[in-house]
Structure formats: C-alpha cells, structure tokens
C-alpha cells in the first residue's frame, strides 16, 4: 500500500468549538433573503404537543409542530361521540392527523367526515360517481398531478372549507407523497417589520387562476357571477385556537388589494416562500387505505407529482367552513 495514503496534510485547525456556539439564533445568509439556524419560535409548541395525553388512541408525531398519526382508531366501526370529540381536539392540536389501514367504503368515508360538519361539493373537480360529496383525484399516464404547489384548499370561496379528509384508494409503487406545512409557524418565522406590514393587508382570491379551463366559454359569465373574486386577510386568526396564520398561496391569490401588480406579487412570493421552510412541515407517505385529515386553515399542503405514469387514486371529503377573519 502506498505510503501517501497515510500521509496527513499539514493544515492548521483554527476552530476549537462548534461554529454555532455564540451565534444569535437565526442568521441571514449574506446577499440572500433566507436565514439559517435554530427555529426557536417552534420550541414552545413542540414542548406543548409532546406533553399531550389521549384517552382513546395513541399518537406518533411526524414533526415537532405539525402532523401526527393516530393509532388505535378503527374507522370501519361507528365511533362514540367522545372519540369523535377527541379526534377533533387532536386535529386542532396537530393541525393534520393520519390514520393507516382503514379499509372503509366511500359511504363510510362520507359518514365519518359528516361527524365534523356539513360537507361541501366542489364545482370544478369530478366527484365519485356514487357519492357526490367526494372529489376523486384519479391520476395516470394521461392525467398528471398538478397539485404540487403549497396551498390552502378553495380559498376562492367566500367561506373556504374548514377541513378535508383524503383517502388513498390506489397508490403508486413509490412517490406521490403529500406534505403539510404549519401556517402559524410560517407566520411566526417572519421578522417583525414584515408582520407589521402585512397585519392589515387583504389579498384577492380567484378560482379562474386554477379552474378556468374547466368552465365552457358560454358559461364563464354565469360562473363568474356565482363565484366572484373574494377577499381574505393576508393574516387570519384560527377559528378555534385564535392563533395567527399566514393565509396566502400562489394558486388562487391574484394580488394584494390596493397594491400595484409588481410589488404585490413580490410581497406574495416572499410570504409564500415561508411555507417552504422544511422545519415547519411534515411529509406523509401513502399506503392503500391511509387517510389524512387536515385543518384547512392551520396548514397548507403540497402533493408531490413524481409518480407518472403510475396510477394514484384518492378521494376527498371537504367540510364547510366559515369566512376567514383577522382578530
């Protein structure tokens, strides 16, 4: 063996301790708008969630502040009201909850979702033929996935859905995961100057940005009257917890009310980038009969589109909500 393999370069090691010691929390990368370092604003919520105890199921968290798998619940059976109430509380706490190995029918899916509120019907997405309350996402070699941008669902409604329950009917051999991001953590990660700037701003939301192709030309005027452009605060307070949430997305938001287009989209892009911070998110890998139940105010979601031409079939029930509000 050559002696050169054992030779050591004569390099002076200048550091005597970890480079993170002494830094003042997150630091900005020179020349860029992004920061790196500990996400200290997550720590209190992390500790709170770790201390929770549940009576009717066990919990396995997927990340410190968002996402938990509920273990020990059988959705094929009719659940007592106290179990439904505890599932609702777990949803408010973890923002998105997951169930595995739940071979339920479409009818059982609808019945379970109805325990949490009245269900809505989506006018621009195809339903399950037997149960119109279920939207069916059937992807294959002819229809790819276009849900791979962070978003809250149906913010083009005056009263967007409160929550959604998505069930895996058929999954690809690999890929097709769904990610969820904590909208409160995204708001908390903003600097105070940005928070002050956006506190009273209002954004406009329009279904035409995503669904114009689904509307025949001869019906566009009628549908526009039925679903006009709506306004929601850029920052809302959660309807139950009161927590401030960042409430903008790239799919449905058309601008900031009263702002010119260029500065409007520059600000919106800056805000939407907060949802891309990995520490604020969790990732769920689907299996057949897996279920995700998310709070549509508390989280945004992102369905990866990395599985084509394989089939991915999902069904979703959405629960009617109330108008998002600030304060």
- Residues with a catalytic annotation lie at 151, 153, 301, 316
Contact 287, 99 (CB under 8 A): no
Query: How do 35-36 and 235-237 pair as beta strands?
Result: unpaired
Helix (H, G, I), strand (E, B) or coil at 270: helix
Structure tokens at 184: 């409160």
By C-alpha distance, which of 314, 316, 313, 308 is closest to 175?
308
Preceding omega of 309 cis (within 30 degrees of 0): yes
Count of beta carbons in the 10 Å neighbourhood of residue 209 = 14
DSSP secondary-structure letter at 128?
P
Q: Is the peptide bond before 128 cis (omega within 30 degrees of 0)?
A: no
For 62, other C-beta atoms within 10 Å of its C-beta total 17
- Contact criterion met (CB below 8 Å) for 197 and 235: no
Q: How far apart are CA 327 and CA 237, in angstroms?
A: 6
Question: CA geometry: angle at 277 spanning 276 and 280, to 5°?
Answer: 110
Beta strands in 104-190 (DSSP E): 119-120, 134-139, 163-170, 178-182
Element (H, E) at 292: strand 291-295
278 three-class SS: helix
Give the chain's largest Cα–Cα span.
82
Name the residue among 269, 22, 314 with its Cα closest to residue 143.
314
Could you give the CA distance from residue 272 to residue 250 in angstroms, rounded to a whole number? Answer: 7
What is the C-alpha to C-alpha distance for residues 101 and 97, in angstroms, rounded to an integer?
A: 14
């Amino acid at each position: 063996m050559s002696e050169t393999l054992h030779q050591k370069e004569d390099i002076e090691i200048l550091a005597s301790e970890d480079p993170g010691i002494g830094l003042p929390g997150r630091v900005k990368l020179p020349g860029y708008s992004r920061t790196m370092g500990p996400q200290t604003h997550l720590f209190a919520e992390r500790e709170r969630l770790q201390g929770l105890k549940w009576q009717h199921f066990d919990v396995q968290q997927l990340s410190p502040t968002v996402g938990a798998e509920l273990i020990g619940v059988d959705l094929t059976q009719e659940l007592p009201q106290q179990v439904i109430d505890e599932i609702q509380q777990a949803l408010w706490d973890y923002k998105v909850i997951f169930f595995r190995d739940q071979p339920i029918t479409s009818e059982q899916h609808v019945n379970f979702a109805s325990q949490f509120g009245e269900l809505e019907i989506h006018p621009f997405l195809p339903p399950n033929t037997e149960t119109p309350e279920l939207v069916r996402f059937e992807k294959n070699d002819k229809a790819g996935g276009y849900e791979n941008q962070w978003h809250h669902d149906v913010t083009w409604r005056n009263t967007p859905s409160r929550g959604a329950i998505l069930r895996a009917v058929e999954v690809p051999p690999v890929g097709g995961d769904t990610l969820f991001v904590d909208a409160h953590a995204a708001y908390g990660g903003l600097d105070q100057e940005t928070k002050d700037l956006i506190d009273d701003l209002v954004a406009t939301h329009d279904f035409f940005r995503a669904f114009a192709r689904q509307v025949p030309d001869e019906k566009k005027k009628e549908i526009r009257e039925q679903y006009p452009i709506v306004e929601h605060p850029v920052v809302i307070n959660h309807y139950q917890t009161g927590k401030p949430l960042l409430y903008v997305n790239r799919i449905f938001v058309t601008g900031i009310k009263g702002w010119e287009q260029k500065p409007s989209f520059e600000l919106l892009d800056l805000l939407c980038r907060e949802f891309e911070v990995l520490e604020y998110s969790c990732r769920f890998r689907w299996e057949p009969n897996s279920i995700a139940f998310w709070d549509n105010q508390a989280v945004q979601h992102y369905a990866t589109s990395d599985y084509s031409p394989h089939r991915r079939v999902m069904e979703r029930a959405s629960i009617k909500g109330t108008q998002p509000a600030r304060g």
